[in-house]
Every structure is written in structure tokens, then in C-alpha cells.
Amino acid sequence: MNCLSCGRELSPENKFCPSCGAAAPPPGRLKSHMTLAVLTTVLLGNWIFGIPAVVFARECELAAESGLFAAARRFSRRALTFSLVGGALCVALWAFLGLMRFLGQGGGF
Ligand SMILES: [Zn+2]
């Protein structure tokens, strides 16, 4: 793991870079969930939740680059939540629409 600010090698117990004082990346990889956000948006037509998810994912990346890891984690969680909730809603909606079409073609009961 290296300092995001000056590139110096950091040990895991370093909370701050000993060289430039920048906050060290938190242990465990910080995920922006950008891929998930984009995939659920594009594949499922999850525009209502997907666009904010992509924005949150981007904010997460920007915050992490600026060393604001608490904020980055918050945005990361929001991006994940919006992706999953929006994705689940879209799957439910598509399933519902498919069912309605299926029933409609069957001519009802
Ligand atoms: Zn540094």
C-alpha cells in the first residue's frame, strides 16, 4: 500500500503518511461500486436509482483520492445500496411486466 499523496510505501498500521502527513488508505479495499452501479443502470434500465448510484460511486472515488476516507466509505455504501435496491426493483418490475404480458397473451382466465 502506498501513500495516495506522495506515493511513499506505508505499513498497514500507519494511519497517516510519515512522509507527507496525508491520511493513509483504510485497511481493506475501498470499493466505489462503480462497475456495479453502471451495470445495474445499463443492463436493468435502473435509471432512477442507477444514476445516483453512479454519482455516489464517482464521489467515493473523488473522496478517496482526496484522502477523505470516511466520506468515501459513506459514498461507497450509498452507491452499493442504490445499485442493489434499484436493481432489485427493476428485476421485480421486469418480472411483473413479463407476467402481465404472459397473462395478456393467454387471453386471461
Ligand atoms: Zn505521503
- For the chain, the domain total comes to 2
Expressed in angstroms and rounded, the spacing between residue 55 Cα and the centre of ligand 1 is 28
Alpha carbons 93 and 11: distance in angstroms, whole number: 48
Identify which of 24, 3, 12 has the alpha carbon closest to the alpha carbon of residue 69: 24
Whether 39 and 9 map to the same domain: the answer is no
- Do 90 and 38 reside in the same domain of the chain? yes
CA of 62 to the centre of ligand 1 (A): 17
Residue range of the domain that includes 82? 34-105
Same domain (yes/no): 22, 66: no
Residue 37 φ then ψ, to 5°: -60, -45
Question: Does residue 97 sit in the same domain as residue 59?
Answer: yes
Question: pLDDT tens across 86-105, in order?
Answer: 999 999 999 999 999 988 87
Instruction: Report the separation in Å between the CA atom of 23 and the middle of ligand 1, taken as the mean of its atom positions.
Output: 8
The per-residue pLDDT for range 10-51, each reduced to its tens digit, is 887 888 889 999 888 766 667 889 999 999 999 888 888 999
Same domain, 54 and 98: yes
Residue 106 pLDDT level (bands cut at 50, 70, 90) = low
104 CA distance to ligand 1 centroid (A)? 64
